[in-house]
A and B are shown apart, each in its own frame.
Chain A
Amino acid sequence: MLNEQLLAGAHAPFWHNGDRITARNYNIIIAALPAAIAGILFFGIPALRVLALAVSSAMVWELLINRLMKKPPTIADGDAALIGLLLGMLLPATMPWYAVIAGTFVAIVVGKMIYGGLGCNPLNPVLVAFAILTLSWKVMLDYDAALVSYEVAFTPLYPLVALKHFGPAVVGKYDIWGLLMGNQLGGIGAVFGLGLVIGGCYLIVRGFIRWEISLSFLAGIFLTALIFNLAGPEKYASPVFHLVTGFSLIGAFFFATENSSSPVNFIPMILYGLGGGAMTVLIRNIGAFPEGVVFAILLMNVINPLVDKIRPRALGRRA
């Protein structure tokens, strides 16, 4: 006979739409693959080595921290692998193994786990790691010096450095389509712009990233670069050049959109995106670094909690 204990108690809702963090992470990995694979084809086995090392070492770091904190392993959620992959995609193919491993250590441990793991990080872990690598091993991340041995059929210069040193006249040599197709030096997974756009569109259509952030970030870059370009065409490159070079595209679709460090309300998302885009161009055009995406997004991460306070008034809330 049935008795009370046989029934299971629970709280509503008794339905779920089936969306899962794990599936989201794996989908972001899939979306990053076109650009990552293009990077491997382009930079060869060394690129594969960096990506594989980044992914595996990120997972090992997370597992070690899980062990150390006596928590159940969390690497199955795909987040460590994703962090590793995205960090690898920013690095040049020539990055030495110890620098890759140091990078994933910073990303996983300093960027994510010390805050409590997935969802608790105030800053984008990958960008934290990349910023620290930039400050510690500047030369390794100088894409021109690092990739000097590559024989290429196009201007073998990191476009943003070329811009910084030689002005828009030189960068006029790059054609935009070529840049989008990956004819530029740079991070392994950051050069094939078209692949990043395809991956980004996939994530947007599936609702895994917030289109408001990606689009406003790109708009921020475009508008700010346009203002500079109109004010001094001989000094500042065209807005489209800014969109397809450096980390603009990978930043818009894979970094600015990281859940934990970005806003969720509509107006804040737009402000955050526009602000990040504008900062990027400001750093590129008048700052000390040729590339601005990393620091621009980190800066927006910092002010995200403030921006995200702008939200619609809740139902029945008295002013």
Chain B
Amino acid sequence: MIKRSFFSLAAPKLTYPILTTPSTKPVDIPLPERAQLILDHPLNGPLGIGVGDMVKTGQRCGDREDNYFISPVTGTVAAISATVGYMGKNLTAVSFKVDGKDRPDEEFRNSESSSELERVTRFLGYLPGQPDFSFLTGIRDNLKTVFVSGMDKDLLVSTNSLIAKTEFAELKKGMAIVRKIFEKKRIIYLLPEGVRPEGEIEGVEIKQMPAVYPQFFPKIVMKKILAIEVPTGIRCDEMGAGFLSAEAVSNLGKAFSSGSIPLDKVITVIKKDGSTAFARVRLGTPARHIMDVLGIKIAKGDRLISGGPLAGITLSSVDAPVCGDTDALMIQDAAAAPPISAAHCVNCGECVRVCPAHVPVNMLIRLLENKLYDEAARSFDMLSCIECGLCGYVCPAAIPIFHYVMLGKFEYERARSLEVQNA
């Protein structure tokens, strides 16, 4: 854990780790006995597949054009159930009983005669690295720039840096596909300062950002590199920029060169002592299986976190699966958990000065404590928050500010959607 330095006048920056040795090879985790996919929508209708159905590795399941999933394993569907995610979001969980051996599905390979765009939209929306291809279909014409980020968002997470370092050939192929799909768009490969790719990539600009948290958050990137400030309540793609992770682009390259859909996710495992390791796992693998293979013990009261130390999300079960966007699994010892207090804000202003979005956090927290979400959004810039967690990291009163802000945003959106429904 990075602590405040003794001489704090010149505030130390939280810097991202930069991989200097590419020798860190991910450990290959064998297939688990059970796998689970979490689908990003509530369970409200048939999925085009049922319990007991057989599936093959890479099989496209689902009956609707835009609503499908790719089976990560060969086996049978063991259960389909409703589940909840972060902030009570309703999701669908599909569990598989895994056969020992992969039998690949051939539908993607046989679609070679279709255009790249068709193949990508039909099969590759759930690649490991969670590419957001939504901007491919809807507002594609509006899009001016596509960023490929060779850096991870949170500290200690190095999944995308590793890919940028070790999978240059695949990345290059993936970028070529991206260029084909996004004809005439500007494509920017983002890297931390001091890091250069192995070679030239045709038609791709390279831009470097300081390796300081949270420089690699999309809205900061847009402001720094494109000089575009994304208004609150608007997504980056609506302002003309799409973001893809290096891992997703590398997997795009692999998909087209191998003819099969990549289903292995690279994750950074952050251990209790803060050291990290890499693992290559099949999508849907339960965290417990990975920890067992790596010999990491999880004890009562520990935290299992998807993501990094500043903006990750705790998982409620050791059986939680690796999803397309699980870039890291962090295990935190019960004793290392920072205290939270119900104390009042003392108005020291640390949060205000650290906030990259200039949110007046010291004022905002007073409204949020009193559940005045509307006012918080209107007059105190709650919606400008880019969700970096720095405010909570520095607060000497140990107020869970970041939690308050996220809750505030959630309640605000909910009240607004209710208003729309009732109107």
Q: Would you call B346 and A260 a contact (CB within 8 A)?
A: yes
Closest to A24 in B: B396
Q: Would you call A264 and B346 a contact (CB within 8 A)?
A: no
Q: Would you call B344 and A119 a contact (CB within 8 A)?
A: yes
B298 contacts across to A, CB distance below 8 A: 2, 6-7
A264 CB contact (under 8 Å) in B234, B307, B352: B352
Q: Would you call A316 and B229 a contact (CB within 8 A)?
A: yes
B232 CB contact (under 8 Å) in A8, A23, A317: A317
Nearest CB in chain B: distance from A117 CB, A: 7
Annotate B72-87 by CB proximity to A: 1 below 8 A, 0 otherwise.
0000000000000000
Annotate B290-315 by CB proximity to A: 1 below 8 A, 0 otherwise.
00000000111111110101111111
A14 at the interface (CB under 8 A from B): yes
Nearest CB in chain A: distance from B356 CB, A: 7
Q: Would you call B396 and A12 a contact (CB within 8 A)?
A: no
Nearest CB in chain A: distance from B225 CB, A: 15
Classify the interface of chain B: helix, strand, loop or mixed: loop
A242 at the interface (CB under 8 A from B): no
Annotate A7-41 by CB proximity to B: 1 below 8 A, 0 otherwise.
11111111111111101100000000000000000
Q: Would you call B314 and A8 a contact (CB within 8 A)?
A: yes
Classify the interface of chain A: helix, strand, loop or mixed: loop
User: Quick check: which of B119-127, B186-194, B358-366 contacts chain A, the rest being far away?
Assistant: B358-366
B339 contacts across to A, CB distance below 8 A: 16
C-alpha gap A28/B350 in the complex (Å): 17
Do A264 and B232 contact each other (CB < 8 Å), given the known contacts A12-B310, A206-B7, A317-B381? no
B8 at the interface (CB under 8 A from A): yes
Do A13 and B314 contact each other (CB < 8 Å), given the known contacts A21-B396, A315-B358, A316-B219? no
B348 at the interface (CB under 8 A from A): yes
Closest to B317 in A: A4
Closest to B303 in A: A8
Q: Would you call B317 and A15 a contact (CB within 8 A)?
A: no
A314 CB contact (under 8 Å) in B4, B8, B223, B381: B381
B310 contacts across to A, CB distance below 8 A: 12-15
A318 at the interface (CB under 8 A from B): yes
A194 at the interface (CB under 8 A from B): no
A306 at the interface (CB under 8 A from B): no
Q: Which residues of B334-361 are within 8 A (CB) of A?
A: 334, 337-340, 343-350, 352-353, 356-360
C-alpha gap A14/B352 in the complex (Å): 19
Q: Would you call B313 and A12 a contact (CB within 8 A)?
A: yes
Q: Would you call B229 and A315 a contact (CB within 8 A)?
A: yes
Q: Would you call A316 and B9 a contact (CB within 8 A)?
A: no
Do A14 and B309 contact each other (CB < 8 Å), given the known contacts A119-B346, A316-B231? yes
Annotate A210-235 by CB proximity to B: 1 below 8 A, 0 otherwise.
11000000000000000000000000
Q: Would you call A119 and B386 a contact (CB within 8 A)?
A: no
B316 at the interface (CB under 8 A from A): yes
A259 at the interface (CB under 8 A from B): yes
Nearest CB in chain B: distance from A301 CB, A: 12
Nearest CB in chain B: distance from A44 CB, A: 36
A259 CB contact (under 8 Å) in B346, B383, B392, B400: B346
B386 contacts across to A, CB distance below 8 A: 315
B9 CB contact (under 8 Å) in A16, A20, A211: A211
Q: Would you call B344 and A118 a contact (CB within 8 A)?
A: yes
Closest to B340 in A: A10
Closest to B299 in A: A6
Nearest CB in chain B: distance from A185 CB, A: 34
Q: Would you call B232 and A318 a contact (CB within 8 A)?
A: yes
A119 contacts across to B, CB distance below 8 A: 343-347, 397
C-alpha gap A16/B345 in the complex (Å): 16
Nearest CB in chain A: distance from B252 CB, A: 30
CB pairs A–B below 8 angstroms (20 shown): A8-B301, A13-B310, A14-B312, A14-B337, A14-B338, A15-B309, A15-B338, A16-B394, A17-B3, A18-B4, A19-B8, A20-B398, A119-B397, A205-B9, A265-B360, A312-B358, A315-B230, A316-B219, A316-B384, A317-B381
Binding site for A on B (CB under 8 A): 1-4, 6-9, 11, 219, 223, 229-232, 234, 288, 298-305, 307, 309-319, 330, 332, 334, 337-340, 343-350, 352-353, 356-360, 362, 381, 383-384, 386, 389-390, 392-398, 400, 402-403, 406
Given contacts A14-B305, A260-B346, A314-B358, 10 further A-B contacts (CB under 8 A): A2-B288, A4-B317, A7-B317, A8-B337, A10-B337, A11-B402, A14-B312, A16-B395, A18-B3, A206-B8
Binding site for B on A (CB under 8 A): 2-4, 6-21, 23-24, 116-120, 204-208, 210-211, 259-260, 262-265, 311-318
